Amino acid sequence: MTCVRSASEASVPPVFVQLAAHPLRWRILGELAGSDRRVRELTGVMAEPQSLVSYHLGRLRAGGLVTARRSSADGRDSYYSVDLGRCSDLMVSAAAALHPGLRLGPVDGARARSARLTRRVPTVLFLCTGNSARSQIAEALMVQRAAFPVKAFSAGSRPKPLHANAVRAMRARGIDISDRRPKHLDEFSRRTFDYVVTLCDRLREECPEFPGHPKVMHWSMPDPSAAGGTDAQTYPAFVRAADEIEHRLHFLLALIEQ
């Protein structure tokens, strides 16, 4: 016996469609897909009252599409991020809900490889304050996880020694970064990059301009060593940081590859 959905069930749009179909919410999602933002930045980009932007951010947060994290540079402020993984899952479900023939299939790998052969190797610079954990993890993971040639670098505004837990967390992923040295961002001030990614709220607010007009994006991530404690106590925070960076890199690599 075939189970047929009732007309009332079929007429209710999936959650993603309900949330993303609103023009302002769609614009907010698009802006956050490029970089984490504060409310006042979104207000300026959208040219809409802060109360209206905050209301729609609240709707997106309630639907699980957007998350907020308190700024480490100014505790009175928050950065908003879009959960691209959840958006992807909901979009796939929404397409299948309309018709099973709309289920998304795999990307044409041959076409993607052909496109990559015709362009130069992209360059990415990851920045955080100390260049002792987050940016070093991002640099190593990008090179290791990319399915195409890419040049990744990292630096900090106030470099300090590579944290032992960053080395340990990466070693658990089969990547050795123990021989990497911390670098000051001044080493790269005259180099051109395709992408510059800040992973630290403090550095984001003092980040210099780089030549060549790179695509600049911000990932608001807490310093895994900020809570204090022994290396054993803080190690889980480094694992979480590496997990989040790897998740974000998946989408950054897709953006670079297109």
Rg, the chain, Cα only: 20
C-alpha–C-alpha distance, residues 34 and 80, integer Å: 12
Residue 196 DSSP class: E
Sign, CA dihedral 20-23-27-30, equals positive
Write out the catalytic residue numbers: 128, 200, 207
Residues with Cβ within 8 Å of residue 214, at least 6 apart in sequence:
125, 192, 193, 194, 195, 196
What φ, ψ does residue 125 adopt, rounded to 5°?
Answer: -115, 125
Distances (CA, A) of 224 to 49, 163, 185, 243: 35, 10, 21, 12
Coil, strand or helix at 152: strand
C-alpha–C-alpha distance, residues 68 and 79, integer Å: 6
